Amino acid sequence: MTAALIRDLTWRGAIAQTTDEAELIKHLDSGSRTLYIGFDPTAPSLHLGNLVQMTMLRRFQLAGHRPIALVGGATGLVGDPSGRNSERTLNDEEIVEQWVGRIRHQLEGFLDFSNGKNAALMVNNLDWTAPISAINFLRDIGKHFSVNQMLAKDSVATRLEAGGISYTEFSYQVLQALDFLELFKRHDCTLQLGGSDQWGNITAGLDLIRKVTTKSGYALSVPLLTKADGTKFGKTASGSIWLDPAMTSPYAFFQFFINSDDRDVEKLLKIFSFKSHEEISALLDSHQTNPGLREAHRALAREVTTLIHGAEACDSVEAAARALFGQGEIQSIDLKTLAGALAELPRTEIKDKNAIPTWVDLIVATGVVESKSAARRIIKEGGAYLNNVKVTAEDFAPTSGDLIGGRFLVLRKGKRDLAAVEVVA
């Protein structure tokens, strides 16, 4: 069973490194095993980069193993140097505690914590780190670490080349190693997963387990996803794609996958989808035959949005997308979904709903059209719409009765170019 899982992960491009793969498969095949991934609270929400790790925990759980989701209440106070060229800004303990709670909630919705031998477990490393005194930490844990080996870790070496690293962040790998040791002793956790940039920290944990207990653990890392253009996956011009709907609306989340580069769709399907190899291959064949349909993108967007935000939210954003492009009634979209959708569009604001400018003035104000003469020409050519209703008069001005929910107007130029108007007090 586990050999099939490792083959599946290899096919999906989800494995960067492992300790001895044959031994790992043998260990996992010998029974249900416990594994973990750590998530540090460096923001109020997890993001799409974290979702890569979350899908790994879910795949192992579906294969019969027990996942532990560790939320780093302690390590989040210190800061991980991996992938950074400067020190993190340290957050207050109260802020980190709030973020821990929010991240726990997100993880609880993704894994199965119900009764059973492989029910997921949630832990906070502050529980075992906070009670340790500095003296005991140095004597019982620090003595097992060679400074020479610590300096050789990629994350540390990179920071030293960039100008230096504080003792605080230098010690991060010791804390992460302690996490693995504690989970090994408390929950018989024998496997740690993480991003490939965490490999040095993960292997430090393996070394600590061996030195303290004389037993062995295992490790598996996941490649860091980048887009075809070389930029970091999960980032847009406006920032990160968050899993919290208050930070990234379900509509924007859905559209991120819909609008992803054609060159990335195979990679994204294999990493995020739980569809079979045959189903994914069929979607990719369809995409090759008719890329304009974006069937693979749409299937991916539906699946991931449903996993994170639920089927009802996914249905709502799909209906909103259809309505915005003239395939449904805009007035039927619930106001929250509409607000999330319009937030992603070129937009302008007005203050008086009883004195709304003309369609020509509004579309120019949004930046979708460069000049009033160009806007008038669009009306003459039959390509101007307000709330999906064609605008035929060059001097047409919406009224308060056209406002959706008393707040919004949706402008469209042709079939695809949308803009929003919002009334603000």
Domains of the chain with CATH codes: 2-222 (3.40.50.620), 225-328 (1.10.240.10), 345-425 (3.10.290.10)
Question: What percent of the chain shows pLDDT beyond 70?
Answer: 97
pLDDT at 126: 95
How far from chain centre, in Å, is Cα 172?
23
Q: What is the mean pLDDT of residues 59-81?
A: 92
Q: How confident is the model at residue 138 (pLDDT cuts 50, 70, 90)?
A: very high
- What are the beta bridge partners of residue 408? 404, 422
Q: How confident is the model at residue 258 (pLDDT cuts 50, 70, 90)?
A: very high
Q: How confident is the model at residue 240 (pLDDT cuts 50, 70, 90)?
A: confident
pLDDT at 86: 66
Exposed (0-12), middle (13-18) or buried (19+): which is 379, by Cβ within 10 Å?
buried
Rounded CA Rg of the chain: 26
Question: Is residue 125 within 8 Å of residue 70, measured between CB atoms?
Answer: yes
Q: What is the mean pLDDT of residues 54-66?
A: 96
Question: Is residue 386 within 8 Å of residue 418, measured between CB atoms?
Answer: no
- Taking alpha carbons only, the member of 240, 303, 230 closest to residue 261 is 230
In this predicted structure, the answer to whether residue 237 has a pLDDT above a threshold of 70 is no
In this predicted structure, the answer to whether residue 164 has a pLDDT above a threshold of 90 is no
Lowest mean pLDDT among 107-116, 209-218, 298-307: 107-116
* Tokens representing residue 392 in the block: 């035929």
Count Cβ atoms below 10 Å from residue 111 Cβ, excluding itself: 18
Q: What is the mean pLDDT of residues 188-208?
A: 94
Q: What is the mean pLDDT of residues 291-314?
A: 95
Highest averaged pLDDT of the listed ranges 150-154, 208-212, 239-243, 345-349: 208-212
Highest averaged pLDDT of the listed ranges 220-229, 300-309, 335-344, 410-419: 300-309
pLDDT at 161: 81
pLDDT at 232: 78
pLDDT at 84: 64
**Cα–Cα distance measured from residue 338 to residue 332, given in angstroms and rounded to the nearest whole number:** 10
3-state secondary structure 11-33: HCCCCCEECCHHHHHHHHHCCCC
**Cα–Cα distance measured from residue 358 to residue 386, given in angstroms and rounded to the nearest whole number:** 11
Tens of pLDDT, residues 83-120:
666 677 788 889 999 999 999 999 998 999 987 889 99
In this predicted structure, the answer to whether residue 239 has a pLDDT above a threshold of 80 is no
Q: Which 8-state DSSP code applies to residue 404?
A: B
What are the angstrom distances between the C-alpha of 117 and each of 121, 146, 254, 378? 11, 38, 34, 64
Count Cβ atoms below 10 Å from residue 345 Cβ, excluding itself: 16
Q: How confident is the model at residue 156 (pLDDT cuts 50, 70, 90)?
A: confident
Q: What is the mean pLDDT of residues 199-225?
A: 94
Exposed (0-12), middle (13-18) or buried (19+): which is 351, by Cβ within 10 Å?
exposed
pLDDT at 36: 98
Q: Can you tell me which residue has the tokens 């954003």?
A: 317
How far from chain centre, in Å, is Cα 411?
31
Strands 384-386 and 417-423: unpaired
Q: What is the mean pLDDT of residues 42-66?
A: 94
Nearest 5°: phi and psi at 378? -60, -40
Lowest mean pLDDT among 144-153, 229-238, 365-374: 229-238
The kind and range of the H/E element at 239 are strand 239-240
In this predicted structure, the answer to whether residue 262 has a pLDDT above a threshold of 80 is yes
* Tokens representing residue 53 in the block: 């790790």
pLDDT at 117: 83
Q: Which residue has the higher pLDDT, 8 or 158?
A: 8
Cα pseudo-dihedral 300, 303, 309, 312, rounded to 10: 120
pLDDT at 343: 87
- Taking alpha carbons only, the member of 420, 23, 62 closest to residue 220 is 23
In this predicted structure, the answer to whether residue 235 has a pLDDT above a threshold of 80 is no
